[in-house]
Structure 1
Amino acid sequence: MTHERSESAGWRRPSVWMAVGLIVAYLVFYLLVGWLVSSIFAGRIDKDNLVGSAPSILFGLALPIAVGAIALFVVAARLGMLGKIFGPQPIRGRGWMWFAPALVVAAIIAHLTGTDWSSWTGGQIAALFVLGGCVGVAEELATRGLVVQILRDARHNEKFVAVVSSAMFALMHTTNLIAGMELSTVAVTVVYTFGFGMCMYLTMRVTGTIWAAIVLHALTDPTTVLSSGGVDTAVGTSSSGGAIAALVTIVLVVFGFVAVFLVRDKVRDPQHSPVT
């Protein structure tokens, strides 16, 4: 019994490995749920074009992520982290960090203006925004929520927290290889998601709440799909909106990588000494 308690306490002790284990467990759970959902609702899912209809979007993409989000809420509650994750940030952001949400908002607006709305039905559009909400909650709760909190509780400085949580967020997207995506496309996606992840971290810091990151993330994914015409498809540059969206996205990613060298703050806990 004592040995079992020791192992349980070790698993619950905040560390990088705890964060890695949580993300790996989440991905395995998500993939299993996705397989189960695709088996049950095979007739509602268009495997050749997952965004080809509203039911395909909801059952093929949104439902597995929604179930994953619920599982993450349960884990966060069991670890006693919900209050910390959804409460005010323990350290205020700096002025330069406002560039992150500004760039994300600019990209969202550019995607909207570059969308060929006639190629989408109302049902598809609504389903895509439902999908966006599921993605925003699940991925932000996993990375900017649980991973960030675990790393902070392990007394790491904020540069480490920002980089490692963004790296984990980026590496989560390597699971696209399982879906048959080309390695080159996955590599580009990983680079983009690291930069985007840094911007989400900065958004959370400068606004003081994870909800800002959740909302912006929830709007980014559906507007990107609407503009590009598919999942993980490059935004076209034939229209002025598409060209602007592509340019803003490049600037966003570059800014995210530059921010790695700018984050220097430390979280101060009144019950502990400052993190070094």
Structure 2
Amino acid sequence: MTTIETTSGWRAFWARGGWWRAVLLAVAYIALYIGAGLLIGALFGDRIDGDDVLSSPESLFFGLTSGVLIGSLILAAFAASLGWFPRLFGRQPIGGRWWMWLAPLLTVGAIVLRLFGTDYAAYTAGVIATAFVTGLFIGFAEEVLCRGLVVTMLRDSGKSEWVVMVLSSLVFALLHSVNILGGQSLLKVALTVVFAFGFGACMYLTLRVTGNLIWPVLLHALYDPTQFLATGGIDETHSAEPSALLELAAPANMLYVVLGVVALLAVRGRVGRSTSDGLEHAAPAQR
């Protein structure tokens, strides 16, 4: 009986949704992620190349992959404890407008250009393989958190889709603000946060227009590894000797911000508040 009551209380708490629960979850995740990173650094720091994390599969695994793997497991366990996987990866309760297709199309375009424009000879096969495996965990963790759990909690509390997009994108930007702890300059972190907000808004648009969380997960899972293989580092913004294809892909970051601004002006709609069992009791509006 105690176990049943505890489980019900746990689920009921998160089922109420709301912006502060969404932020609480994000902060808890960031704290656990940073803690995992510190532990990995203490145990395996000598295997990470601080000057070039992409220098070997081992360096990339302990420098990035292991952290997002742990983060993915934490979020998967959290979603499973709530029984939310069917909700997160089910059909979205609100559709999208035609212009929202610009978000996934922009992402696919950047991915394709980087896939064919990257100088793979600069890396070993192990680094390339590890990079794409890492991308899968990044896509899963960041999209399940921001476009899955956070979006669901905000909708459950009756927030408008404009608020859902803005707050979920701000949470996504918050995840990237922790780069400052890694020694990045304040200016670089600020630019990364601005881009992250725009990219987050575009992943929200992708969620809306495709109707399923799997598509933001997959696109994000391909976008990140193709970006850092193309640029030669994590959160780098340029390549030393970009090919013509990479030069064509370069404006993508700026275009995400532009499309994010458009979304701020155009996104409307509201999904009805959900009951504790996750069922909608109001017809969704869309625009």
1:248 aligns with 2:252: yes
Q: Where do residues 16-95 of structure 1 align in structure 2 (5 Å cutoff)? A: 16-95=19-98
Which segment is superposed worse, 97-106 or 36-45?
Answer: 36-45
**Aligned residue for 1:225?**
228
Aligned residue type for 2:18: S
**Which has the larger displacement, 169-178 or 109-118?**
109-118
Provide the TM-score with structure 1 as the length reference: 0.92
Range with greater deviation from structure 2 (48-57 or 213-222): 48-57
SS at match of 1:51: helix
Equivalence for 2:186: 183
- Structure 2 length-normalised TM: 0.89
Q: How far is 1:40 from its partner?
A: 1.9
Partner Cα distance (1:66, 1:91) in 2: 30
Match of 1:197 in 2: 200
- Aligned position for 1:128: 131
Q: 1 CA distance for matches of 2:203 and 2:14? A: 27
Deviations 1:144-172 (A, max 9, x none): 01000000001101111011101110111
Residue 271 of structure 1 corresponds to 281
Shift of 1:11: 6.3
Give 5+ residue unaligned stretches, structure 2.
275-279
Deviation at 1:43, TM superposition (A): 3.3
Root mean square deviation, CA, Å: 2.2
Q: Is the 8 A contact 2:271 2:283 kept in 1?
A: no
Q: Identity of aligned pairs, percent?
A: 45
Q: For residues 78 and 240 of structure 1, do their structure 2 counterparts lie closer, same or farther at Cα, with a shift above 3 Å needed?
A: same
User: Across the two proteins, how many residue pairs are aligned to each other?
Assistant: 273
Kept in 2, the 8 Å contact 1:152–1:267? The answer is yes
Following superposition, the deviation at residue 208 of structure 1 comes to: 0.8
What is the aligned partner in structure 2 of residue 103 from structure 1? 106
Moved over 4 A (4+): 7-12, 273-276
Mapped to 2, the partners of 1:275 and 1:22 lie a distance apart of 27
